[in-house]
Amino acid sequence: MGTLNSTLSSLLSSINQEISAKEQQKIRDSIVSSIYSCAEEISRKAAHHKIDRRFELDQKIDNIITSRMFGIPIMLALLGVILWLTIAGANYPSQLLANSLFWFEGQLTGFFVMVNAPDWLHGVLVLGMYRGLAWVVSVMLPPMAIFFPLFTLLEDLGYLPRVAFILDRYFKKACAHGKQALTMCMGFGCNAAGVISCRIIESPRERLIAVLTNVFVPCNGRFPTLISLSMIFIGGLGAAAYSTAVATAVVVLLILLGVGITLLISWLLSKTVLRGEPSFFTLELPPYRKPQLGRILIRSLLDRTIFVLMRAIVVAAPAGAITWILANTYIGDLSIIAHLAGWLDPFAFLLGLDGIILLAFILGLPANEIVLPIMIMSYLSAGAMLELDSLTALRTLLIDNGWTWLTALSTMLFSLLHFPCGTTLLTIYKETKSLKWTAFAALMPLGTAVIVTFAIAQLAFLLGLV
């Protein structure tokens, strides 16, 4: 008997080794499909006719929404609508909030003058720290307050599991987890929130891949830079009536590029430092349900928006103070910012940038929202972060400082691919409890941005396009 058991065990082991991972997955999917088909048949016989009709309606909707022909176009259209509502809807509240915060800055300045405070103290605390905070809050809060409720609405309706279902095969080919599609979508609102949402991935290896690659989808802090530059340098190439549409198309292409790089880097990580096969998971599509608005507002505003904003404030406050100090401390005839920009200029030129642009990204590490104001401040040799009153004025300033279409394209690509902001890095450290992976999360996308911009810039120089 013992010999028989040993022989059977050896035979089963041999058969198991000969079955490929793909065949195992097919067998597993077949078993799971049979189980669900049987369960559906039982529930269909036992359920009330009204419930049966509702189930059939859900099935008809899913046949369209999750189909190979319509699934991705519908998903992209919904994402486009959410982004458009976020960008367009945030303009007025952002301006209103900025006016209120900068009005209060004037009151603070009046107080410092009244108490005869030193100019340097007013500069560090008001023009540096407070103005940096005001910029981050006014640019970051309104888009998040719109994006997260809309995103949570789709989640509550039951659509987001369908997104994971649609994109699962692409992430599986990249040796990543299908649920990474959901964490990636969350990153459009804020990469820090996207990193937190990676908790839904059970596998530690695949969760880490999702955490490390979430930065490649642009958050709301990077959209102002992407939209402004695409409007100025690319939207203007066509007829004036279509400039907005052209600029929008460019931003959408950049988003798709970010998704493509997310899949590529996920695959590279799974084949190198995070080797392993993608884990299997069975995704049960929940029924469509009526959203609960109260729960949506609480979850999106308190759990996501306020939580992320508080972390952003913590890292943005010192950044504003440091930027002011660097802009107002002179060595010879030049400020420290001018010296640093000049030192970075030769390397930045190889990437299609200049020293001021590269320095603005470095100083904007705490929050992407302050990159463009730092750039403007440095070009104008001003002592504090500034914002120009129109895109025409910004275009004139940039062209006067040597910008070309290549500079704009390289800046947009660098903005899309570069290191995460300080808030996201802090969140990555809290989620991974590892300085090693936090440092990797900063250096890996930076290396990607350098390689991509260097390749494009050198190709443009080689072909004589600039």
Residue the block writes with tokens 């914002």: 387
In the three-class reduction of DSSP (H, G, I as helix; E, B as strand; rest coil), residue 355 is classed as helix
For residue 393, give the amino acid letter. A
Length of the chain, please?
A: 466
Answer yes or no: do 46 and 80 share one domain.
no
Answer yes or no: do 159 and 274 share one domain.
yes
Q: Considering 27, 46, 65, which residue would you say is the last residue of a domain?
A: 65
Cβ 384 vs Cβ 127: under 8 Å:
yes
Distance CA 438, CA 436 (A): 5
Answer yes or no: do 348 and 431 share one domain.
yes
Distance CA 165, CA 182 (A): 10
Answer yes or no: do 47 and 79 share one domain.
no
Answer yes or no: do 45 and 188 share one domain.
no
Identify the pLDDT of residue 18.
53
Q: Considering 46, 65, 84, which residue would you say is the last residue of a domain?
A: 65
N-to-C CA span, the chain:
81
Joined together, the tokens standing for residue 60 give 């008809």
Answer yes or no: do 245 and 364 share one domain.
yes
Q: Which of 255, 230, 220, 185 is nearest to 94 (CA)?
A: 220
How many structural domains compose the chain?
2
Distance CA 44, CA 101 (A): 59
Distance CA 410, CA 227 (A): 14
Q: Considering 65, 81, 112, which residue would you say is the last residue of a domain?
A: 65
Q: Which of 282, 72, 291 is nearest to 179 (CA)?
A: 282
Answer yes or no: do 132 and 10 share one domain.
no
Give the orientation angle of helix 355-363 with respect to helix 336-350, to 10 degrees.
Answer: 110
Answer yes or no: do 341 and 446 share one domain.
yes
Answer yes or no: do 379 and 238 share one domain.
yes
Answer yes or no: do 47 and 127 share one domain.
no
In the three-class reduction of DSSP (H, G, I as helix; E, B as strand; rest coil), residue 151 is classed as helix
Domain enclosing residue 6, as ranges: 2-65
Angle CA(450)–CA(455)–CA(272) in degrees, nearest 5?
60
Residue spans of the chain under pLDDT 70: 1-55, 58, 235-245, 277-284, 299, 302-304, 307-308, 311-312, 388-390
Answer yes or no: do 112 and 52 share one domain.
no
Distance CA 463, CA 459 (A): 6
- What are the tens digits of pLDDT across the range 92-140? 888 888 888 888 888 998 999 898 989 888 888 888 888 888 877 777 7
* Cβ-proximal residues to 179 (8 Å cutoff; 6+ apart), any chain: 164, 200, 201, 210, 281
Residue the block writes with tokens 């590029």: 257
Answer yes or no: do 8 and 126 share one domain.
no
Identify the pLDDT of residue 262.
93
Q: Which of 414, 413, 403 is nearest to 359 (CA)?
A: 414
